[in-house]
Structure 1
Amino acid sequence: MTEVEKTISDRIHDMLDSFTRAERQLALSVLENYPASGLGPLTALAKDAEVSVPTVARMVQKLGFNGYPEFQAGIRDELSAQIKTPIAKHDTWAEAAPSEHILNRFTQAVMENVRLTLGHIDPDDFDQACALMADEKRHLYIVGGRITHTLAEYMFLHMQVIRRNLTQVQSSANTWPHYLLNAQEGDVFLIFDVRRYENNTLKLADMARERGARIILMTDQWRSPIHQIAEVCFCNRIVAPSAWDSMATALLLLETMISAVQTLNWGETRERVEELEGMFDQTKLFRKFT
């Protein structure tokens, strides 16, 4: 399996409606603890899902595999892709790099990422996430990781203008417990976590969920372990011909969210923008040409 292909969980989601009742029961069982659920013996998977062994064989074939061993090999390939270092990712792309200019190759990869990502986003989930972030009765916590803290900062900067009652949280374990101390039931955590998932971020999410918080997760196509407790999960395609992953799709989704939340809160947002512009005028932060 190459990185630009759909993950096995994507295929299962795509085919849910076409499965028989037993196959659907099996599929949901696989997704509940994916990918670990598909790494054990075939008989164990059938027993956990309370279906027959032939049901497992039929569903695997419908997913495009010749048998259960090939299905497991596909999952192992996905796991290998998840933990690739920047050097390994660079070597993978370099070996198969076409002769076209990097501008074209990178752009094509990003456009494919956008297409596949948007194809798997439920508009109702998107609307639910935006409604949660727009609700000023809920404190909004925005959490980024080692790389994704830049996306978190970008989102926080815009949300500061749009609404009150929000906090940016660093995922470092020596700081976030202080923020979590104030979290209450119904508060919202927007969490960023992409491959090479961070243990600190997972622990933060677990503890926030225990306090009754609602979690919105921005992750990649392999899905951070946080997806199991997230209320809404957005799986962004991140692969690109580079030693590093591309955050272009995540940024597109964030900017769309900013627009949606701004619209939901426009009355107050407009007042806040006008007040902020007045402050800018007083501080002479920006040049004016008129």
Structure 2
Amino acid sequence: MTVSDVISAHFDALTRAEKQLATSLLDNYPVSGLGSITTVAENAGVSTPTVARMVQKLGFRGFPDFQARLHHELEATLSSPISKHDRWAARAPGTHILNRFADAIMTNLRQTLSQVETADFDSASALLADRQRSIYIIGGRITKALADYLFTHLQVIRPNVTQIAANPSSWPHYVLNMKAGDVLVIFDIRRYEQEMETLGRVARERGVEIVLFTDQWASPVAKVAAKVFRVHIEAPSAWDSSVVTLFIVEALIEAVQSSGWEETSGRMKTLEGLFEASRLFRKPRPEVPGKP
């Protein structure tokens, strides 16, 4: 669990002053907790003893321990592929990479599923299935492949699905067409992209519902998102793993497809006819007796 997870889990049990402090910490997380204990207290409008009591109530040995966790999280979100590789290599066991990778992915899947509420999943799929809403999808430098995968399937399943070009200068043109109630799906993992935060904020101001795919530390877009999938992405590699994110994406595709199968099947039949007309797919030639 991240520090924000711990704060959220204990929030109801906090005193009024502690809740005020917790809200202050979450508003600009994790930066809001990286100053001195006096600065943190002043920014929240509480006393320094309140800060000391709350971090212990959250399970930390004291304020230095609390800040160490925050620094560790911040370092993890800013890790470059080189530093990430070196960290894994330093503690890599002597087993084959296939086994190590499989173990990491299975751990990611278990941890992610333990934090995904079925009600939140169903709510996100309902947003994507609602034909009254237009869907917009965007990914980052690495996650644009996931965005493209989701777009390819959703545009078959339902109408009014648009993929936003991964170009900082182009998104305003797409926002121009967004209406209140439309859905914007954003993929944003660590080394979060400034473009995504700006796009999410502007879209939300227009009444757009945001579905976010991010990592366990959570992109800044989470502050304005209606639904957030926090996926564990660590792997024994210089790169983060997209396996579990793709798992959630494919599960959503099936949920949306099943919810409106009658319409979707009709669209698929029409599409197959178009494929046939364009001769997109190769078909085996029928065998002729006596000919090779």
Q: What's the offset of the Cα at 1:21?
A: 5.9
Q: Residue 168 of structure 2 aligns with which residue?
A: 173
Larger CA deviation: 77-86 vs 150-159: 77-86
The offset of 1:56, in angstroms, is 2.8
Indicate conservation of the 8 Å contact 1:171/1:201, yes or no: no
Deviation at 1:271, TM superposition (A): 0.9
2: CA distance between counterparts of 1:128 and 1:52? 40
Aligned with 2:183 (options 185, 188, 200): 188
Specify the alignment match of 1:244 in structure 2. 239
Q: CA deviation at 1:181?
A: 1.5
Secondary structure (helix, strand or coil) at the match of 2:164 reads strand
Residue pairs, 1:223-262, within 5 angstroms: 223-262=218-257
Which one has a bigger Cα radius of gyration? 2
Cα deviation for residue 184 of structure 1 reads 1.4
1:100-153 Cα deviation digits (max 9, x unpaired): 111111111111111111111222221221111111211100011111100000
Q: 2:112 pairs with 114, 117, 134, which one?
A: 117
| 1:258 CA drift (Å) | 0.5
Change (3 A) 1:260 1:20: farther
The 5 A counterparts of 1:34-73 are 34-49=29-44, 52-73=47-68
Q: Quote the RMSD (CA, aligned, Å).
A: 2.0
Please give the per-residue CA displacement for 1:206-244, whole angstroms capped at 9, x wherever unaligned.
221222211111111111111111111111111111000
Look up the match of 2:76.
Answer: 81
- Deviations along 1:139-193, whole A, 9 cap, x unmatched? 1000111111000000000001110011000231222222121111111100011
Which stretch has the larger CA shift, 161-170 or 202-211? 202-211
Deviates most, 250-259 or 46-55: 46-55
Stretch of structure 1 that moved more, 119-128 or 91-100: 119-128
Alpha-carbon deviations, 1:47-77, whole Å to 9, x = none?
Answer: 5555554443233224332110111111011
Q: Aligned to 1:191, what secondary structure does the other structure show? A: strand
Equivalent pair of 1:280/1:286 in contact (CA under 8 Å) = yes
2:273 is the alignment partner of 1:278: yes
Match of 1:100 among 95, 103, 107: 95
Report the counterpart of residue 290 of structure 2 in structure 1: none
Match of 2:141 among 146, 160, 172: 146
Query: TM-score, normalised on structure 1?
Result: 0.90
How far residue 284 of structure 1 moved from its aligned partner, in angstroms, is: 3.1
Read off the aligned partner of 1:178 and give its amino acid letter: H
| TM superposition score normalised by structure 2 | 0.90
In the alignment, the residues of structure 1 paired with residue 255 and residue 226 of structure 2 have an alpha-carbon distance, to the nearest angstrom, of: 19
Q: Which moved more, 1:39-48 or 1:75-84?
A: 39-48
Establish whether residue 155 from structure 1 lines up as the match of residue 141 from structure 2.
no
- Work out whether residues 159 and 258 of structure 1, in 8 Å CA contact, stay in contact via their aligned partners in 2: yes
Aligned-pair CA distance for 1:19: 4.8
1-structure distance, mates of 2:106, 2:201: 34
Q: How far 1:279 moved relative to its partner?
A: 2.2
Which has the higher mean CA deviation after the structures are superposed, 205-214 or 252-261?
A: 205-214
Matched residue, 2:289 = none
**Partners in 2 of 1:229 and 1:170 — Cα distance?**
21
The residue number in structure 2 matching 1:213 is 208
- In the alignment, residue 228 of structure 2 is paired with which amino acid? C
Q: Is the 8 A contact 1:145 1:171 kept in 2?
A: yes
Range that drifts further, 155-164 or 118-127: 118-127
Return the alpha-carbon distance in structure 1 between the equivalents of residues 66 and 248 of structure 2. Answer: 31
Q: Which residue of 2 aligns with 1:3?
A: none
Is 1:11 equivalent to 2:6 in the alignment? yes
Contact 1:218 1:250 in 2 (8 A): yes
User: Which amino acid in 1 is paired with 2:66?
Assistant: F
Equivalent pairs: percent with the same residue? 54
1:69-108 alpha-carbon deviations (Å, 9 max, x no partner): 1111110111111111111100000011100111111111
